[in-house]
Amino acid sequence: MTDGKRLHGATVVIMLLTRLKDFIIPIVFVFFVGASGGGVGYFAMIALPVLFIFSAVYSFLYWLTYWYRVEDQELHVKQGIFVKKHRYIQRSRVQSFDMSAGILQRMFGLVKVQIETAGGGGEPDVHLIALDRAEAKRLRQRLLAKPEVSAGDEEVESTDLKERDEPDELEPEIEASWALGFKYLLFAGMTSGGVGLVLSAVLALFSQVDVLLPEAFYETTIGFFLSSTITFLLFLVFMIAFFAWLISIVITIVKYGQFTVIKRGNDLVISRGLLERKQLTLNVHRITTVRFVTGILRQPFGFTTIYVESKGGGSADEQQSTILVPLVPRRTANDVLAKFLPEFVVEDDIGIKPLPRRALFRYIMRAVVPILLVAVPLSFVLPFGAYALLLVLLGIFLGWIRHRNSGFNVSGDYLILQWRLFNLNRAVIPRKRIQAADVTQSPLQRWRRLSTYSVSILASMSGKSFDIRDIAAGRGEDLLAWYSKEVDTPDFSREEEKGKSMI
């Protein structure tokens, strides 16, 4: 394929700088060790220039041998320096078109494009490192536009396949839009609960660079802590947590700054990010589930986050889901959702069917047992370790609130599941999007006349399942009958009549 298009020429520089960024820790290591005159330092001082030259040559050859072209109903991609790879992707298989602009792309006024299909696996099918923004929009329009079909088949009219000089004029008008204001953005950062992630990242970074620290540093540090008072140590821990909280706020602002979502025809275009500007396009017909997630810090203030599960899209830092609205008052969440996905709006007054009281003991035991596994050994090892057993009270509370907040219901052709680990989750799942429904029952559940109901959906690059543990056994059979369309509306009024399971 020689009549296709190449990536922008800045791809070479972007790839080279990206690889240098990946080697920043070895470069710092060379700086310290090389300055001391050690043998390892001389070796690394020679290896790094070789690595730089190799990366530059590889980046140039990658750009030189990468071609793409949209032809007929397919996207053709050819790549490979030594091993040539041809990839053909049908337009109808494209699930999502993710357009983003990192710092390196923004330096050249370019964007990065990731294209996913239903069978893409864990990585995007096509990764275009640098494109002109106009070219990226033109490519998105050609891949995501609905083909014009004839009366008897789905062949695309030839005129739809020709290159469009003015693609923007053909884009549908904006039907709805929503933007995250700075006040809500700041509050989202304050209640994101990302302190733990920041501390984990700091510890992971420290574990990578601890070999560079001198032995005297460890001796001084340990001696300092042993000579400090309990009050000072508590103050130090508080200050570390406080700065981690500030860092998590900054991360949230950078990540979700300038967050907007617009609806054009059947497409939802979600844009976000201050440093790396990301733009994800989702087709509303490929969305399988809507989730409302209320963080434990946001619940007292009545705010929630709206996620969507889609066949395509999603990111690893969001558990392969996509955030539709980062923060919105719960009382107005359905109003915002109605702008973009009105078919998923289920009014709150429909309520949730609670779990039976006989399931409470099982919920409490699931929360308490992990605490006992940690607290009991600590009570023998540490001088005041017995106080750790007080955490059992916290486990009892967690078990009680998880049981109290979990439940289910059915509204027409929509299943509503609600559960909590720490955050409160509510999923709205259309019956037609459920791939499979199961009811399982362990021996202990059979003894307590309980069961676990679970459903599977298509989401992102793989499937996803949701389950509710310890519902009444008869209710699980009712939900199965609703899914198999044996009944349109389960009779949940017979709460305890069907106590004996048929499983």
Q: What are the sequence ranges of the domains in the chain?
A: 5-145, 173-345, 359-399
CA separation for the pair 130, 100 (Å, rounded): 10
Q: Tens digits of per-residue pLDDT, 39-65?
A: 556 666 677 778 788 888 888 888 888
- The mean pLDDT of 177-200, rounded to a whole number, is 83
H/E element holding 325? strand 322-329
125, β-bridge pairs = none
Q: What letter would DSSP give residue 173?
A: P
- Rounded CA separation 69/77 (Å): 7
Per-residue pLDDT reduced to its tens digit, 14-46: 888 888 777 766 666 666 655 555 555 666 667
- Got the DSSP string for 410-451? EETTEEEEEEESSSEEEEEEEGGGEEEEEEE--HHHHHTTEE
Structure tokens at 259: 């967050």
Q: In the prediction, which pLDDT does 154 show?
A: 44
Would you say 132 and 141 are in contact if contact means Cβ atoms under 8 Å apart?
no
| 3-state DSSP assignment of residue 2 | coil
What size, in residues, is the chain? 503
* Predicted local confidence at residue 70, as pLDDT: 85
Average the pLDDT over each of 115-119, 335-339, 437-441 and give the range with the smallest value. Answer: 115-119
Confidence (pLDDT) at 30:
63
Residue 9 has a CB neighbour count (10 Å cut-off) of 11
Answer for the pair 141, 167: CB distance below 8 angstroms, yes or no. Answer: yes
Give residue for tokens 């750790």: 388
Least confident of 66-70, 208-212, 469-473, 486-490: 208-212
pLDDT for the residue 155: 43
SS3 content of the chain, % helix, strand, coil (to 5): 45, 30, 25
Over residues 303-341, the pLDDT tens digits come to 999 999 887 665 656 666 889 999 999 899 999 999 999
- Specify the range with the lowest mean pLDDT, choosing from 70-79, 258-267, 350-359, 486-495: 486-495
Lowest mean pLDDT of 98-102, 220-224, 314-318, 380-384, name the range. Answer: 314-318
Q: How far apart are CA 115 and CA 463, in angstroms?
A: 18
Is the pLDDT at 148 greater than 60, yes or no?
no
Q: What is the pLDDT of residue 339?
A: 92
d(CA 425, CA 318): 14
Residues 6+ apart with CB under 8 A from 118: 93, 95, 311, 312, 458
Portion of the chain with pLDDT greater than 70, in percent? 79
Return all residues near 4 (Cβ < 8 A) that are at least 6 apart: 67, 68, 69, 76, 78
Q: Which carries the bigger pLDDT value, residue 430 or residue 223?
A: 430
Give helix 24-36 / helix 11-22 axis angle, nearest 10°.
Answer: 60
Q: 481 pLDDT exceeds 70?
A: yes
Helix axes 24-36, 195-209, angle to 10 degrees: 40
Q: Quick check: 296 and 401 in contact, CB under 8 A?
A: no
d(CA 259, CA 268): 13
State yes or no: pLDDT of 285 exceeds 80: yes
Please report the pLDDT score of residue 80 as a whole number: 83
Q: What is the DSSP letter of 92?
A: G
Average pLDDT along the chain: 80
Cα angle vertex 424, ends 394, 388, to 5°?
A: 15
Query: Which of the four CATH numbers 1.10.760, 2.30.29, 3.30.1330, 3.40.1710 does domain 5-145 have?
Result: 2.30.29
How close are the terminal C-alpha atoms of the chain, in Å?
59
397, containing H or E segment: helix 391-405
Token pair of 282 as six digits = 């989702």
Which residue do the tokens 């050819």 mark? 78
Within 210-332, residue ranges assigned H as helices are 215-227, 230-256
User: In whole angstroms, how far apart are CA 423 and each of 136, 297, 303, 379?
Assistant: 38, 9, 12, 30
User: Are 482 and 490 a contacting pair, CB within 8 Å?
Assistant: yes
**What is the structure's pLDDT at 404?**
93
Where does the pLDDT of residue 121 fall: very low under 50, low under 70, confident under 90, or very high at 90 and above? low
Alpha-carbon gap, residue 72 to 156, rounded angstroms: 8
Identify the pLDDT of residue 329.
Answer: 93
| pLDDT at position 168 over 60 | no
Q: Summarize the confidence of residues 478-499 as an average pLDDT.
A: 76
pLDDT of residue 399: 94
Cβ–Cβ < 8 Å for 392, 400: no
In single-letter form, the type of residue at position 175 comes to E
Question: Using an 8 Å Cβ cutoff, are 328 and 455 in contact?
Answer: no
Cβ-Cβ contacts under 8 Å for 214 (sequence gap 6 or more): none
Q: What integer pLDDT is reported at residue 159 of this predicted model? A: 41
Q: For residue 426, name the pLDDT band (cuts at 50, 70, 90).
A: very high
Cβ pair 270, 279 in contact under 8 A:
yes
d(C-alpha 328, C-alpha 256), whole Å: 14
Q: Which residues contact 472 (CB under 8 A, 6 or more apart)?
A: 355, 356, 449, 450, 451, 495, 496, 498, 499
pLDDT in tens, 385-411: 777 788 889 999 999 999 999 999 998
Judged against a pLDDT cut of 60, whether residue 158 lies above it is answered with no
Only one residue has tokens 């907040």, namely 405
Judge whether 109 and 8 are in contact, CB under 8 Å. no
CA distance 188 to 23: 33
**C-alpha angle 459/464/469, rounded to 5°?**
145
